[in-house]
Amino acid sequence: MTANETNKRQIAEIMRNARPFAPQWNEGIEKSKSRARAKGSKRDTTQMQTGDDTSAADGEPSAEAPDLSSAGSGQGARPRQFDVVLRVVASWEFFHDRRRRPYARVPWAGHWETHALVSTSFAYLLHHAVYSETSQALGADVFNISLRHLSARAVLEGDERTVYCRVARQSPDVLLYDLGLPNWSYVRVVPGRWDIHHDRCPVEFERSDGMRPQAIPEPGGLINQVHQYWNTNDAGYMHLDGWLLGALRGEAPIPILKISGSHGTAKSSLTRTLCSLIDPREPEMISLTRDVRDLVASVANRFAVGINNTSRLSQEASDTLCRLASGEGVVSRQLHTNLGEVVTNHPNALAVNGIAFDAAADANSRMIAIELQRIPDEARVTETDFWKRFNADKPEILGALFDAVATGLRRQHEVHIPAPPRLADYVTWVEACAPALGWEEGQYLALYAENREQSARATLEADAVAVAIKNLVFGDPDADNDAWRRGCDRWTGSATKLLEELAQRIRGGGDAKLRENFLKSREWPANAAALGKRIMRCIPLLYEAGIDVDKIHSGVTTWVISRRAE
């Protein structure tokens, strides 16, 4: 007999010898079943009244859809919570933005507030409103169903509106600034003047959890009051003033502020003061990580972004910063989701600080570079004293900034730059604001051009391919032969030929072993395709250095590198 057959015989023997339940046991089981059915019926009635399908026994939601019908009937019946929600939101306005994200404008405590429906603040408002109406907590399932219903109303029935973050350009001559105060007051700036309004704002401002209230601006201040808190020189003061005004313009492009310096130069304090003047937040600054998605998620609900202690800007990070500053919008997949997206749809005022870091050529062409000097030990002050004095002066500093913005709105149509540089809109705007700052006409334009030239020169020297091409055209003083020291006015050939030519010239000067190791390093392109990509990225730098680079397609790709005529 097999083992399986033996097991079957043993089980059959046990079943034959098993005794049935005693009659009193059967009676007890039936009573337990009756009590369980009665308890379940009572729980179902309670759920119909509260709209909550949470089990009192185990705390888990019911698998069935919640019953939203009213409890009982007649004159004393309690209304459904879903009906209460609809009654509470009857005066609320539901709309969507251009990406079809649902929003609500809510009358609250004598003012109007704007909230994204998928946000903690909207959940708090809805729960509080229902509790104030019924003295009952809003059930989780009823809240979820209400949220889906209201979102559908906002997207399908509501109108489309533009949602702003901190600064809004209502029209070419009207600028609005959200103070972030509990009463949702705002600053309205028109040509020649500004004032604070407490009525319903004509545009939609969105606030995130990290936004902090701004100091209330006061008239009569001077922009020079803030200079005592910045460790820089007169040229640096002008660049920082211009950057603040460019951010308050409310439109792209906004240059990226690059702050560098050794330890003890107050880079972080400078960045914090700048962000505090236009968009106070908590945390005040963020750090740059390797994953660009983290950067996009961090800046999605911010206007001013301070990036602290940057040691390196990768090509991907540089490209992302350019898109953020230019207001092009950056879309990134939301973490832990398949279809969710994090979207930025407004220009960001970016201030990046670090000891010494380089960015890609395109990012550098959008940057204003400021280098700080170390503060002597005897000139240092405590953090407590520094921020106490800064916060005391902040209202008048803000008033001076809004005075300059009002001047810019009045003069923006009068300023014309004959040969506008890159970010011409920004430079034109700062020139329009200049009289309020005591600057002469064209003074900032000249300073900006000088800063761009210095930045381009430093960026070129940090790019090995750009330096090699520059030496090819203008000559390499360290080369072994006279022809290489003189350079050439024009060079034509394929990328493969150019790579060989540049490598040969690099080997021909200085320490041969050191130069050979350099050609094998990551800084030097490994093949012709990599060289072509590097050349495309450094073309702006070469142009600034007086070198024209053209790429001709005629069966075979040909590069033409020439010295630009004076």
d(CA 224, CA 218): 15
Alpha carbons 453 and 544: distance in angstroms, whole number: 7
Res 211 pLDDT > 60: yes
> Residue 158 — very low, low, confident or very high, per pLDDT cuts 50/70/90?
very high
At 49 the pLDDT is 46
Q: Which of 247-251, 417-421, 562-566 has the lowest mean pLDDT?
A: 562-566
Single-letter amino acid code for the residue at 140: A
* Tokens, residue 408: 């810019």
- pLDDT average, residue stretch 539-549: 90
382-408: average pLDDT: 97
Residue 181's pLDDT is 97
| Residues contacting 554, CB < 8 A, separation 6+ | none
| Tokens read off for 268 | 């972080």
Q: What are the CA-CA distances from residue 466 to residues 291, 491, 501 (Å)?
A: 28, 15, 14
Higher pLDDT among residues 318 and 31, named by residue: 318
User: Does the structure show a pLDDT above 50 at 62?
Assistant: no
> pTM of the full predicted structure?
0.81
For β-strands 102-108 and 285-286, DSSP reports them as unpaired
Average pLDDT of the residues in 312-338 = 74
Q: Is the pLDDT of residue 69 over 80?
A: no
Residue 68's pLDDT band, with cuts at 50, 70 and 90, is very low
pLDDT in tens, 258-278: 999 999 999 999 999 999 999
* CA gap 550, 128 in Å, rounded: 65
Q: Where residue 2 falls among pLDDT bands split at 50, 70, 90?
A: low
By C-alpha distance, which of 127, 129, 121 is closest to 139? Answer: 127
Residue 494 · residue 529 · CB < 8 Å: no
- The pLDDT value recorded for residue 76 is 43
Q: What is the 3-state secondary structure (H, E, C) of 92-122?
A: CEEEECCCCCEEEEEEECCEEEEEECCCHHH
Helix H or strand E encompassing 388: helix 383-411
Inter-residue contact 197 to 188 (CB < 8 Å) = yes
**Comparing C-alpha atoms, which of 80, 84, 71, 82 is closest to residue 42?**
71
Phi, psi angle pair for 368, to nearest 5° = -110, 115
Least confident of 7-21, 82-96, 232-246, 453-467: 7-21
Average pLDDT over residues 232-237: 96
pLDDT at 338: 42
Q: How far apart are CA 242 and CA 448, in angstroms?
A: 10
pLDDT at position 484 is 78
What confidence score (pLDDT) does residue 529 get?
Answer: 93
Integer-rounded Cα Rg, in Å, for the chain is 34
Q: Name the token pair of 374.
A: 């170390």
Using alpha carbons, list the distances in angstroms from residue 500 to 55, 75, 513: 76, 94, 18
Which of the two residues, 30 and 405, has the higher pLDDT score? Answer: 405
Give the model's pLDDT for residue 58: 42
Contact 63, 126 (CB under 8 A): no
Report pLDDT for 25. Answer: 43
Which residues touch 93 (CB under 8 Å, ≥6 apart)?
Answer: 104, 105, 106, 158
Whether pLDDT at 369 is above 80: yes
